[in-house]
C-alpha cells in the first residue's frame, strides 16, 4: 500500500533531498511537486525541483512553479545556500524535467480533488493557502498535511519565528485554520535527527548518480551548520523528515496540540504558538512532532534513496 502525496517546496538543497525521499520511498506515491518563492526566488526553486526530479530518474511526476511572493508581507531573502549549492545554476551536468503549465496552487487543487492525498510541505505555505482560498472545499479532500516549520521554542530566523512560517505567516494561519488534519514537524522537534558522518557515508555508499547527488546535497548542508547555544550537535536533516514521517508516523513522537500563528506581534510576528497543555481552552488542530527516532530515520532515508538508484 502506498500513500499518494504531493510535495510543495522551495528547493533549497534540503528540499531537494526531501524530493528524492518522496520519490524513492516504498510507502509513498509522489504524484506532483509544486514550488514557490521562499528559500530562493520562484523561478529558481521551480528549476531546482525540476533538476531534482530529473535526477531521481522517476518519470511522469509533474513539477509546477507557483507563488512569486508571500500573500501579505514583503518577501524575505535567505542569506545562506543562495549561490553555494549542489543545485548551482552553472552546472551543465544537471538536467531538468520540463515544467508543468499549471500554477502550483492549481496543481495542488487538481491533485487533491482526486482524493486521499497527503500534502507534504517543506517551504512557506503560500501555494497551499492560495489553493484553499480559491477552493475551500479542498479542506475535505486533502487527507492530511505534513509540514516542516515553526518551533515551540526559539526561532531560527528571528528570536521568535522559524523561517518557513516567517516567510508567509498569513498563509500559515490559513492552513492551520482550515480544519485539515495536520502533522507539524517544528525545528525543535526535528533537531535530534542529524546529518551525521555515518549518514553521509551510507548515502555515498549507495553509489550511482543519485547516491552521489544525495551525498553532495548532505555535505553542502553540513557546510552551513552553525551550532546554537542549546544544540544540536549536528546539522539537522530537517526537510527529508517530512516525507519520512508522512510515510511512517512511528518514526516520530507525536503530541496533539493547538497551533496558532502570531500575526500581530511586534516582536513575535510569524511565531507558531504551540499550546501543548491546552491553556487557551481551544481544541488541538495538529499532531506535533516532539522527537524522532534518529536511527530509524537514517535507515528509512538511505532505503528511499537506494530505491531510486536501483
Ligand atoms: Ca525548504
Q: How far is the CA of 230 from the centre of ligand 1 (A)?
A: 23
The pLDDT value recorded for residue 157 is 92
Q: How far is the CA of 17 from the centre of ligand 1 (A)?
A: 10
Q: How far is the CA of 227 from the centre of ligand 1 (A)?
A: 19
The pLDDT value recorded for residue 85 is 66
**If you compute the radius of gyration of the chain from its CA atoms, what whole number of angstroms results?**
18
Decide if 265 contacts 271 (C-beta within 8 A).
Answer: yes
Q: How far is the CA of 58 from the centre of ligand 1 (A)?
A: 21
Q: How far is the CA of 105 from the centre of ligand 1 (A)?
A: 17
The pLDDT value recorded for residue 79 is 63
The pLDDT value recorded for residue 92 is 79
Here the cell at position 159 is 528570536
Q: What is the CATH number of the domain that holds 156?
A: 3.90.245.10
Closest CA to 78 of 239, 224, 270: 224
* Number of independent structural domains in the chain: 1
Q: How far is the CA of 287 from the centre of ligand 1 (A)?
A: 20
pLDDT tens, position by position, for the chain (310 residues)? 899 999 999 999 999 999 999 999 999 999 999 999 998 899 999 999 999 999 999 999 999 999 999 999 999 977 665 555 678 777 878 899 999 999 999 999 999 999 889 999 999 999 999 999 999 999 999 999 999 999 999 999 999 999 999 999 999 999 999 999 999 999 999 999 999 999 999 999 999 999 999 999 999 999 989 888 888 889 999 999 999 999 999 999 999 999 999 999 999 999 999 999 999 999 999 999 999 999 999 999 999 999 998 7
pTM: 0.97
Residues in the chain: 310
Q: How far is the CA of 122 from the centre of ligand 1 (A)?
A: 4
Q: How far is the CA of 51 from the centre of ligand 1 (A)?
A: 16
The pLDDT value recorded for residue 116 is 86
Q: How far is the CA of 146 from the centre of ligand 1 (A)?
A: 13
Distance of CA 259 to the CA centre of its chain: 18
Distance of CA 111 to the CA centre of its chain: 18
Which helix (H) or strand (E) covers residue 274, if one does? strand 272-275
Closest CA to 259 of 275, 281, 283: 275
**Pairwise CA distance, residues 18 & 24, whole Å:** 10
Decide if 69 contacts 40 (C-beta within 8 A).
Answer: no
Q: How far is the CA of 275 from the centre of ligand 1 (A)?
A: 25
3-state DSSP assignment of residue 194: strand
252-261 and 286-292 beta bridge pairing: antiparallel
Q: How far is the CA of 37 from the centre of ligand 1 (A)?
A: 10
Here the cell at position 228 is 546554537
Enclosing domain of residue 245: 3-309
Q: How far is the CA of 281 from the centre of ligand 1 (A)?
A: 32
Decide if 10 contacts 40 (C-beta within 8 A).
Answer: yes
Amino acid at each position: 500500500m502506498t500513500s499518494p502525496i504531493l510535495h510543495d517546496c522551495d528547493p533549497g538543497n534540503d528540499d531537494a533531498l526531501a524530493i528524492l525521499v518522496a520519490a524513492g520511498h516504498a510507502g509513498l506515491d509522489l504524484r506532483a511537486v509544486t514550488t514557490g518563492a521562499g528559500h530562493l526566488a520562484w523561478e529558481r526553486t521551480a528549476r531546482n525541483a525540476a533538476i531534482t526530479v530529473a535526477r531521481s530518474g522517476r518519470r511522469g511526476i509533474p513539477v509546477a512553479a507557483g507563488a512569486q511572493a508571500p500573500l501579505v508581507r514583503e518577501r524575505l531573502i535567505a542569506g545562506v545556500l543562495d549561490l553555494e549549492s549542489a543545485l548551482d545554476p552553472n552546472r551543465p551536468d544537471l538536467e531538468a524535467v520540463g515544467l508543468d503549465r499549471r500554477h502550483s496552487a492549481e496543481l495542488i487543487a487538481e491533485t487533491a480533488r482526486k482524493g486521499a492525498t497527503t500534502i507534504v510541505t517543506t517551504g512557506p505555505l503560500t501555494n497551499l493557502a492560495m489553493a484553499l482560498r480559491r477552493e475551500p472545499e479542498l479542506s475535505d479532500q486533502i487527507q492530511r498535511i505534513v509540514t516542516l516549520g515553526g518551533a515551540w521554542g526559539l526561532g531560527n530566523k528571528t528570536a521568535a519565528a522559524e523561517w518557513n512560517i516567517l516567510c508567509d505567516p498569513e498563509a500559515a494561519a490559513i492552513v492551520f485554520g482550515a480544519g485539515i488534519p495536520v502533522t507539524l514537524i517544528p525545528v525543535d522537534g526535528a533537531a535530534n535527527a542529524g546529518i551525521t558522518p555515518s549518514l553521509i557515508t551510507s548515502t555515498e555508499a549507495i553509489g550511482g548518480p543519485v547516491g552521489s547527488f544525495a551525498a553532495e546535497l548532505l555535505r553542502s548542508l553540513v557546510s552551513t551548520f552553525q551550532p546554537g547555544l542549546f544544540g544540536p550537535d549536528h546539522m539537522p536533516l530537517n526537510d527529508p523528515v517530512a516525507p519520512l514521517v508522512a510515510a511512517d508516523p512511528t518514526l516520530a513522537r507525536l503530541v496533539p496540540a493547538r497551533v496558532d500563528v502570531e500575526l500581530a506581534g511586534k516582536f513575535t510576528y510569524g511565531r507558531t504558538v504551540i499550546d501543548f497543555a491546552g491553556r487557551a481552552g481551544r481544541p488541538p488542530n495538529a499532531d506535533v512532532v516532539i522527537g524522532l527516532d534518529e536511527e530509524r530515520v537514517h535507515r528509512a532515508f538511505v532505503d528511499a534513496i537506494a530505491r531510486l538508484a536501483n
